A and B are shown apart, each in its own frame.
Chain A
Amino acid sequence: MTQEYNVVVGMEVHAQLLTNTKMFCRCSADYQGAPPNTHTCPVCLGLPGALPVSNRAAVEATIRTGLALNCEIAETAVFARKNYHYPDLPKGYQISQYELPLCRNGWVEIELPDGSVKRIRIHRAHLEEDTGKNTHAGLHTLVDLNRAGMPLLEVVTEADIASADEAYAFLTKLRSVLRYLGVNSGNMEEGALRCEPNISVRTPEQAARGELGAKVEVKNLNSLRAVRNAIAYEAERQAGVLNAGGVIEQVNMGWDEDRQRTVLQRSKESSEDYRYFPEPDLPPLVVDRQWVEETARTLPELPDAKEQRYRQDWSLRPADTGAITGEKAVADYFEAAVAAYGQEDGKPQRMANWITDELFRLLYADGEGQDLRQIAATRVQPQQLAALVQMVDARKINANTGKKVLELMYGSGDDPQTVVKREGLAMVSNTDVIDAAVQEAFDSNPDELARYRSGEKKLFGFFMGQMMRATKGKADPQAARQRLQEMLDG
């Protein structure tokens, strides 16, 4: 019998902070797409004699994030030098934080499939500088230092994550919080958000004794899905090795997206001793309590709080709240639409349905792909969507026509009234027109009519469809249903 294993995952997440300038110099942080080594200066090139000066905006972004992740904010944080040699590390050390990070002991809540809530503890969150980028070109390695010295927030969790799905949920929530705060783009493909899970497995007996298995760190994960797949793969691989009598070695692996498997990477230095010591060029960062309080006061409403408010005040279904609060842009859109539409009689839920079912479908189908933040750029203004749903409510158009109208609005940006008028989509509740359509359906389908009348009552739906087709979907379904019933039975 094969042994069951529990998965234990801890995460290190690196998030590039959205500041105007780099972490320790005045170079513009907007280097994406710029020619190599054009966003550089003596400081981020590590020229002799150059000295770092901390970027206050980056410190504040870290404090904001720490507060949002329920962390303690240090009264004194200390930058430290992490020493190692690599061509993309200009000074031969990275300025980071070691013994005294800015943020400690926080947590993030994720929702499990059974609806329960689990806390993933945050061990620490600190500020450091990014490295440059090596590109291998044939026999040569080219170094681009545009990225060197970018402010980087490192978030380290406790090993509280127990599955690939939990990791996915955690990372989704963290990315959501970072985007709400406006401190990080959340873009994993461009490397603005990077995630390195530490994965190990252990038997339930080991778990009971508090033992951990050897952990494997996986790098090169460029999407949320890759993180989930890599953890699932690695957990299974490790269980397989153990079940075959093997031993798990503590190594770094990379994720091969094409083959959907982890592959062994050689570590940078065989045994890594970073010889951390306090950065003498930067005085200890004394964090004024008033600054922290002021920052706390100006935090935006975060996804968890929004979710709770939607459920409590608007009775939104849990499944929809998550879909709406995940992206701040979607929540903003939703709230603007509800403001225009109304909060009474389950209206927020109806609006949620329109957004998550219909508008999302259009966004996904659009070339912009999976990024729901594009909702902020759609031509359909929240007020226009509210007007559309109001037309459905008032039975000026039926729901199916409403979806068609939305599609046309999405393409043109026109008001729903304009679209309905132009396309002649107003709902038909005129009895003569409906009667004519029913009659047409009867005439075209004499066999079905006979079968219905001999008791095959399930053909009602068939006639309903035929009749709707005859009115091009514009018939008021309620009126149509009533007349059809009367005429079938009459």
Chain B
Amino acid sequence: MGSQNSTKHLTSLGVAEASAGLAAGRFTSVDLTKAFLERIERLDGALHAFLRTTPAEALEAASGADRARADGDSRPLLGIPLAIKDVLMTSGIETTAGSRILEGFVPPYSATAVNKLKAAGTIVLGKTNTDEFAMGSSTENSGYGPTRNPWDLERVPGGSSGGSAAAVAADEAPAALGTDTGGSVRQPAAFCGIVGLKPSYGRVSRYGLIAYGSSLDQIGPITKSVADAALLLEAVAGVDPYDSTTMPVDVPDFSAALTGEISGMRIGIPHEYFVEGIQPEVEAAVRASIEQFASLGAETVPIHLPNTELALPVYYLVVTAEASANLARFDGIRFGLSVDGDTVFDHFRQTRGAGFGSEVKRRIMLGTYALSAGYYDAYYLKAQQVRTLIKQDFDNAFTDVDVILSPTSPTTAFRIGEKVDDPLAMILTDIFTTSANLAGLCGISIPCGFDDGGLPIGLQLLGPSLGEEKILRAAHAYEQSTEWRLRRPEL
């Protein structure tokens, strides 16, 4: 019947389209929110993109937004429902980071990014699944079961923001927030055929983001279009007095950067990113996109990033070292799971032993080792030194080019279970994404084709720190000149 069609129409909308519809009075925020809640209800049993939804609060907020609009409020994000990755603190809504150790934990405060989105008038539909504490590339490490890829339910959606990416790809939400420590926004966006933006380190406040790798973590939007990513970034970006690592710069009008005009833009093609072992269709699609950029007037320039092969080992030393300290607070004393022991140290052991999954334990142990007396210089300190070299590679490259283009991931989405017993193979899926986090760069993944099995392929554009306008403009120009985003998964 008619309402079913209109509901389907509503859930296919992205942020900008939904905003236009609300502004034109074609539907209300309550209509929109109900449509998404119904679709989640219908599909998420199979997908498991959400850990929990908040329908009552969402509908109440939606009717509040509708009243505000009736009173003349016309902010672009007013009444837009969104999904939030479960590593972001949401006041009054259970937040677990995908870990059993935080089961039932209801935070007393919200992340700055969540507060900013609320202040902009958006509505929280629910919290999305994630690898436990964002440690993973497939969302299989969630303590609450894996999320499935909407393009093929036997495959992973990528990770760690796999819940957010699957929700957006499956039209369960017009957009979502994810977090990206080594590729956790970009890689699932690529696997799910949508857009994922990792802002420059310090662009978005980390306050209220449950820390994994503090010097690497960034919150980023996962959307259906580049324009939506620009809209959401503008809403969450900016200096925060609660996060000393935010950069004290004004937030640009990112949407204004989407001119469609990229002639003369210099796009670097890093030799080291087209390595053996890339899935042939991925390489072909990305090489075709280089031609497309050239046809749009951009200059493509071969470049070298000589320390590329060191990025992954450096990343895994830095991120695990930081994680080993960041996760020390989960001790069962003040919140979360608490398992009694004979002594206070036994209490810590019992609680952490029961609450953390195996990948989290593995990374805590690796990080603890890298920081230990006698190993610190050889591992952590050396990693930080090489990190500086990697950053210098990019600094050098960006003196010559505006953006750098590469595949987002060497493969398309792999099968659930395919790599769970091989942590090293899992880690290799991050090979093109971790450098941006180590160097504090911004990066975006956008769809650039499909493999022979019909799975989406993503290309990555990297820009210098605070260079979001450049990567957004390039990504938008490419997106508008292709039709990849129009193909949707059948559910």
- Seen from chain A, the residues whose Cβ lies within 8 Å of a Cβ on chain B are 42, 45-54, 81, 83, 85-87, 90-93, 141, 143, 273, 275-277, 280-283
| Contact among B88, B214, B329 for A281, CB-based, below 8 A | B214
**Given known contacts A47-B108, A49-B207, A51-B243, is B89 in contact with A83 (CB within 8 Å)?**
no
Interface flag for B423 (CB, 8 Å) = no
**Given known contacts A42-B109, A47-B335, is B329 in contact with A91 (CB within 8 Å)?**
yes
Distance between Cα atoms of A45 and B108 in the complex (Å): 11
Distance between Cα atoms of A51 and B89 in the complex (Å): 13
Contact with A along B241-264 (1 / 0, CB 8 A): 111110000000000000000000
Interface flag for B333 (CB, 8 Å) = yes
Distance between Cα atoms of A206 and B209 in the complex (Å): 56
Contact status A51-B207, CB under 8 Å: yes
Contact status A277-B107, CB under 8 Å: no
Q: List 5 A-B contacts (CB under 8 A).
A: A47-B107, A48-B97, A48-B107, A280-B245, A283-B245
| Contact among B107, B108, B334 for A90, CB-based, below 8 A | B334
Chain A residues with Cβ under 8 A from B345's Cβ?
85
Query: Shortest distance in angstroms between B106's beta carbon and chain A's nearest beta carbon?
Result: 11
Chain A residues with Cβ under 8 A from B373's Cβ?
273, 275
| Contact among A49, A83, A277 for B380, CB-based, below 8 A | A277
Contact status A92-B334, CB under 8 Å: no
Contact status A92-B102, CB under 8 Å: no
**Most chain A CB within a 10 A radius of its CB, from B97, B102, B107:** B107
**Given known contacts A87-B344, A282-B244, is B325 in contact with A46 (CB within 8 Å)?**
no
Measured CB to CB, the nearest residue on chain A to B97 is A48
Contact status A281-B244, CB under 8 Å: yes
Chain A residues with Cβ under 8 A from B356's Cβ?
none
Contact with A along B371-383 (1 / 0, CB 8 A): 1110010001000
Distance between Cα atoms of A51 and B206 in the complex (Å): 8
Contact with A along B95-109 (1 / 0, CB 8 A): 101000010010111
Contact status A46-B97, CB under 8 Å: no
Could you tell me the dominant secondary structure of chain B's interface residues? loop
Interface flag for B211 (CB, 8 Å) = yes
Interface flag for B184 (CB, 8 Å) = no
Distance between Cα atoms of A93 and B108 in the complex (Å): 22
Contact status B321-A83, CB under 8 Å: no
**Given known contacts A92-B325, A275-B368, A277-B380, is B214 in contact with A49 (CB within 8 Å)?**
no
Contact status B209-A49, CB under 8 Å: yes
Could you tell me the dominant secondary structure of chain A's interface residues? loop
Chain A residues with Cβ under 8 A from B243's Cβ?
51, 53, 281
- Seen from chain B, the residues whose Cβ lies within 8 Å of a Cβ on chain A are 88-89, 95, 97, 102, 105, 107-109, 111, 206-211, 213-215, 241-245, 321-322, 324-325, 327-331, 333-335, 344-345, 348, 368, 371-373, 376, 380
Measured CB to CB, the nearest residue on chain B to A87 is B333
**Given known contacts A85-B348, A277-B325, A280-B322, is B244 in contact with A48 (CB within 8 Å)?**
no
Contact status A46-B334, CB under 8 Å: yes
**Given known contacts A51-B243, A275-B371, A281-B245, is B210 in contact with A85 (CB within 8 Å)?**
no
**Most chain A CB within a 10 A radius of its CB, from B111, B242, B243, B348:** B242
Measured CB to CB, the nearest residue on chain B to A48 is B210
| Contact among B89, B207, B321, B330 for A277, CB-based, below 8 A | B321
Chain B residues with Cβ under 8 A from A47's Cβ?
89, 107-109, 329, 334-335
Contact status A141-B244, CB under 8 Å: no
Distance between Cα atoms of A45 and B109 in the complex (Å): 12
Chain A residues with Cβ under 8 A from B109's Cβ?
42, 47, 50
Distance between Cα atoms of A49 and B376 in the complex (Å): 26
Contact status B242-A92, CB under 8 Å: no
Distance between Cα atoms of A50 and B95 in the complex (Å): 14
**Given known contacts A85-B345, A87-B344, A281-B214, is B329 in contact with A48 (CB within 8 Å)?**
yes
Measured CB to CB, the nearest residue on chain A to B209 is A49
Contact status A273-B328, CB under 8 Å: no
Query: Shortest distance in angstroms between B98's beta carbon and chain A's nearest beta carbon?
Result: 12
Contact status B215-A280, CB under 8 Å: yes
**Given known contacts A93-B325, A277-B376, A282-B244, is B111 in contact with A49 (CB within 8 Å)?**
yes
**Most chain A CB within a 10 A radius of its CB, from B102, B105, B325:** B325
Distance between Cα atoms of A141 and B343 in the complex (Å): 11
Chain A residues with Cβ under 8 A from B376's Cβ?
275, 277
Chain B residues with Cβ under 8 A from A86's Cβ?
344
